[in-house]
Amino acid sequence: MTQIFTADGVAVPVTVIKAAPCSVIRVKTKTDKDGYNATVIGMPGKKKLGKRALGQTKGLGSLQYIKEFRADEPISLNHGDLIKVDAFTIGEKVKITGFSKGKGFQGVVKRHHFHGHDSTHGTKDQVRTSGSIGPCEPARVFPGVRMPGHMGAKRISVKNLTIAQIDKEKNLLYVKGAVPGAKNGLLMITCPGELNIEKPV
């Protein structure tokens, strides 16, 4: 994260996101054989892809990341249209989805914020344990009991993040606040409304 300053001199904490131009690979309609309205877009990643991956891009080059977005109404997009950062506006509310940082196998103190036991008064090797996980009567552990396990690496969405600034030359979005995931992670940015699409020449 970094910060930018408004015209009044107020510091605003922002996250800089590089939104590479996405190409429209395919448009699905409800009247066709697909049976639903959707658009498939792709974003460049690796310079070289296999023939199997290049066949999905339908002549638009090396597009590593492909995502399908469904819609209720027919979509007014065509094959080859570019979706750039100018599709968004400053002050617009967006929803950003990503995968949180993976932290591996963690105990209940770090994973579920358990208090732990006293480090004195007879406690031995049980400071960070969970304690009892159920009564004796059912003779089993009920589902949903908070226990140690894998932490992080989950799909998380953050809503109502405000776009503070847009750099059209470098394809950068300055979003107010924090976004899920580590640095150089892959994010999905969505918002309601119409898109400003650049038609191919």
Q: What is the CATH number of the domain that holds 37?
A: 3.30.160.810
Mean pLDDT of all residues in 113-122: 91
* Residue-wise pLDDT tens digits, 32-88: 888 899 999 999 887 788 787 778 787 788 888 889 998 888 888 888 888 889 889
**Is 42 contained in some domain?**
yes
The 3-class SS string of 134-169 reads CCCCCCCCCCCCCCCEEECCCEEEEEEEEEEEEECC
As given in the structure block, the two tokens for residue 112 are 């579920």
pLDDT at 201 over 80: no
With respect to residue 75, please indicate whether it lies within any of the assigned structural domains.
Answer: yes
What is d(CA 155, CA 37) in angstroms, rounded to the nearest whole number?
24
The answer to the question of residue 128 being in a domain is no
CB contact at 8 A, 163 and 96: no
Domain that holds residue 73: 2-88+162-183
> Residue 7 half-sphere exposure, CB side, CA atoms within 13 Å?
0
63: in domain: yes
Tell me how far apart the alpha carbons of residues 191 and 93 are, in angstroms, rounded to a whole number: 7
82 in Cβ contact with 21 (< 8 Å): yes
Residue 16 pairs in a beta bridge with 174
User: What is the chain's alpha carbon radius of gyration, rounded to the nearest angstrom?
Assistant: 23
Residue 48 domain-assigned (yes or no)? yes
Contact of 91 with 6, CB cutoff 8 Å: no
Into how many domains does the chain fold?
1
pTM (two decimals): 0.82
Q: Is 189 inside any structural domain?
A: no
Is residue 22 in some structural domain? yes
Please indicate, yes or no, if residue 107 is contained in any of the structural domains.
no
